[in-house]
Amino acid sequence: MKILFQALTAWALTSSEDGNFLEPALAVDHKLLSWSDVTGQLAANLLPDPNLFAIQGQADEETFAAIQADTRYLVLWSKQITD
Amino acid sequence: MMIRRILPPFLRRRALLPRRSLVPVLRQAAPTGPAIQDSFTDTDGVTLPGHVPDLAPAGSSWSNTNLGVINNQVHYLNSATRQLSVIQTGISDCIISVRCCQDANGSASTGSEYRSGIIARYSATNSFWRIAFHPVAGFAIYEVNAGVAVARAATVFTTEYGAFHTVQAELVGESILGKIDGAYPISYDLASFNKTASIHGLMIGYSGSVPAVDDFLVERI
């Protein structure tokens, strides 16, 4: 069973051998199966002081329980999906 | 080594709620014919700009002399990392596909951890979309906007070295749908940036890991 959800998150700046990029802090802290940005802030507005934004993600039940317990993130809604 | 920091401090931020409530829908536009097709069949050592695609609009040619043809595939001709090559297709809404191999000689190296895949809607060296996979860090859609790289969607994906994977991107208006080997779908439906740009292309990782690209195709929809 997987959980489909939307949640508010901050941005995280990731530095790697493959260059720097912004990604959801929630996806850094919790291993999501997949996610998509559903706010669509303009890239020009993201540095240096971006607002929170919402992602729609999929996670297994254990990961989703950890997200719900993580006070840094706010789950907007969720539902179980079978696929 | 991955270094991450949270931007900005979480407190005091104003939240932006979703502009759209999206339920993932797997779209599949119907292709109506190729605009660009290239199997990279040519003499070893020919640069991509010196190579003539199998099918392309008149006057369109590949960029980047660091890349060229070896064994009828795109390989590095010079040592480099994260190189891309683009070509004018004349269409912004389309289906792009390309076969990518992270390590064509099948020999893993610590320097292999770079992304390979598709460059879409390119307008400048620091402004384009990237639909690419990393050997261990997943498959993702990135907006590279005036040099700021932003991940817009991602999914878990790993690959063994030496394996070819077909990366596909379906671009329709403000929607981008990415897949690998027809699976691992990721989508971003707020892609207003560069939405009318008609230059597309390919991205290839680190020369030391001997990545390869083959069978580039842009189809009209």
A64 close to A78: Cβ distance less than 8 angstroms: yes
Average pLDDT over residues A13-35: 91
- For A77, name the nearest residue in chain B, comparing CA atoms only: B21
**Predicted pLDDT of residue B98:** 98
- The alpha carbon of residue A68 is apart from the nearest alpha carbon of chain B, in Å, by 16
- Map B136-159 to HEC letters: CCEEEEEEEECCEEEEEEEECCCC
pLDDT, tens digit, 9 for 90 and up, residues B156-193: 998 887 889 999 999 999 999 999 999 999 999 999 99
B134 vs B206: CA distance, rounded Å: 12
B218 vs B35: CA distance, rounded Å: 6
**Predicted pLDDT of residue B160:** 81
Could you write out the DSSP letters of every residue in A29-78? Answer: HS--SEEEESS---GGGSSSSPPBEEEEEEEEHHHHHHHHH-TT-EEEEE
How many residues does this entry show for chain A?
83
CB-nearest partner of A38 from B7, B22, B137: B22
pLDDT, tens digit, 9 for 90 and up, residues B120-156: 999 999 999 999 998 878 999 999 999 999 999 999 9
Q: By C-alpha distance, which of A4, A63, A46, A30 is closest to B151?
A: A46
Token pair in block for residue B39:
């199997």
CA geometry: angle B90, B93, B98, nearest 5 deg: 85
Is A29 touching B (CB cutoff 8 A)?
no
Bridge partners (DSSP) of residue B120 are B129
A-chain CB neighbours of B82 within 8 Å are: 18-19
Q: Which residues contact A71 (CB under 8 A, 6 or more apart)?
A: none
Q: pLDDT grade, residue B206 (50/70/90)?
A: confident
Q: By C-alpha distance, which of B152, B188, B158 is closest to B172?
A: B188
B158 vs B217: CA distance, rounded Å: 24
SS3 B25: coil
**Predicted pLDDT of residue B22:** 46
- N- to C-terminal Cα separation, chain A: 7
DSSP state of B128: E
* Most confident among A14-23, A29-38, B100-109 (mean pLDDT): A29-38
A58 close to A32: Cβ distance less than 8 angstroms: yes
B-chain CB neighbours of A81 within 8 Å are: none
Give percent of chain B above pLDDT 70. Answer: 85
- The alpha carbon of residue A8 is apart from the nearest alpha carbon of chain B, in Å, by 7
B60 close to B88: Cβ distance less than 8 angstroms: yes
pLDDT, tens digit, 9 for 90 and up, residues B25-70: 556 778 889 999 999 999 999 999 999 999 999 999 999 999 999 9
pLDDT, tens digit, 9 for 90 and up, residues B79-98: 888 899 999 999 999 999 99
Q: pTM of the prediction?
A: 0.90
Cis peptide before B135 (omega within 30 of 0): no
Token pair in block for residue B154:
């991602």
**Predicted pLDDT of residue B136:** 79
How many helices and strands in chain B, by DSSP H and E? 0, 15
- For B110, name the nearest residue in chain A, comparing CA atoms only: A17
**Predicted pLDDT of residue B10:** 47
- The alpha carbon of residue A2 is apart from the nearest alpha carbon of chain B, in Å, by 14
How many residues does this entry show for chain B?
221
C-alpha R_g of chain B: 17
Residue A58 C-beta-side C-alpha neighbours within 13 Å: 19
Q: pLDDT grade, residue B23 (50/70/90)?
A: very low
CB-nearest partner of A37 from B5, B111, B188: B188
Cβ pairs bridging A and B (under 8 Å) = 143
Site from A11, A18, A20 to mutate, B interface, most B CB atoms within 10 angstroms? A18
A34 close to A79: Cβ distance less than 8 angstroms: no
State whether ipTM is beyond 0.90.
yes
pLDDT, tens digit, 9 for 90 and up, residues A40-83: 999 988 988 889 999 999 999 999 999 999 999 999 999 999 86
**Predicted pLDDT of residue B210:** 82
Please judge whether B8 and A49 are an interchain contact, meaning their C-beta atoms are less than 8 angstroms apart: yes
| Mean per-residue pLDDT over chain B, rounded | 88
